[in-house]
Chains A and B, each alone.
Chain A
């Protein structure tokens, strides 16, 4: 084997072994983003299909952490079409005016063990407010983030007509998520 070929081969091997910014992730299949609250005294659950998550995360380098979640709202569903029409309608999410929500965080704290908290900003219904997402991180070939956040819907101006009343619809909406991550493919 000529020397040049050997050198090229060695370079390829070295490059392949380099961690390609190992802490960058994108969302993989099997991820869910849900919400739950209380309507007229009864608990309800729903989900936001089609959300996308980008994450830069390394427990050893929390200073570089970045989280960015984009949540399309038009498909938000509770599994009941009447309630979905209400949810997407003008008196709640008003998806015709506010088609998506976004959560971004650049400050992630360690809470001990595999637990962390992201102090981010949620932009929803035309209003941006701080929201903390606490989560557990399970590293691996497919890293998994399991997190929960409390959203006070009235802070985001969500709920007019009868829904302005927290006795009808709870102010507290719990958002829970399970995101499966694949490392972002290294540049070739």
Chain B
């Protein structure tokens, strides 16, 4: 497995970005939902600070991931995919990337509008983008949650599409993003 992406396979850097972000998003979504149900208090503050730190991590990884994509390119879609499905996939990926930025950014803004600190594991303090505003805090809180559900739905569709490729189209779309899939046959199918 190489670091860079080729026409037929994902390199280790892109795979690592993909799965690391998946794992972080699962944890982050769980913490976020738990937090929402918690009464205000110091325990909730602890969870909120964890959620903020992980959120900043995801945002940073998303930036690096896109930069890497621009440098390393991406494999072509597996052969035999219809033009319509290619368009759908392209659109889906675009929405996923957009939400990957929009969810943390609305989180950042809701924290700033709420007049709270935004720190990264107590090591780094992020600047305030805006000044305190109660109404906008509430609005961005609602937006953050709505976009989170949109991301969840889109990611679920993404996973189902990958499963469809694997099970019904029997192509390498899923296999080539899986960790450790080293040998890729020239036609893009699993070796």
Contact = CB atoms under 8 A, between A and B. Distances in A.
Interface of A: 39-40, 80-86, 88-91, 96, 160-163, 165, 168
Q: Which 7 interchain pairs have the tightest Cβ spacing? A: A162-B41, A161-B39, A161-B40, A91-B40, A81-B117, A85-B116, A162-B39
B141 to A, nearest CB: 13
Contacts of B49: 82
Contact of A96 (B45, B117, B134): B134
Contacts of B117: 80-82
Interface of B: 39-45, 48-49, 114-117, 134
Contacts of B41: 91, 161-163, 165, 168
Contacts of B48: 82
B142 to A, nearest CB: 17
Nearest to A84: B115
A89 B137 CA distance: 13
B2 to A, nearest CB: 44
A67 to B, nearest CB: 32
A92 to B, nearest CB: 9
Nearest to A91: B40
Nearest to A165: B41
B39 A82 contact: no
A40 B39 CA distance: 15
A160 B134 CA distance: 19
Contacts of A162: 39-44
30 contacts: A39-B42, A40-B42, A80-B117, A81-B115, A81-B116, A81-B117, A82-B45, A82-B116, A82-B117, A83-B45, A84-B115, A85-B115, A86-B45, A88-B115, A90-B40, A91-B39, A91-B41, A96-B134, A160-B39, A160-B40, A161-B39, A161-B40, A161-B41, A162-B39, A162-B41, A162-B42, A162-B43, A163-B40, A165-B41, A168-B42
B134 A85 contact: no
B109 to A, nearest CB: 15
Nearest to B45: A82
B42 A85 contact: no
Contacts of A83: 45
B40 A86 contact: yes
A159 to B, nearest CB: 10
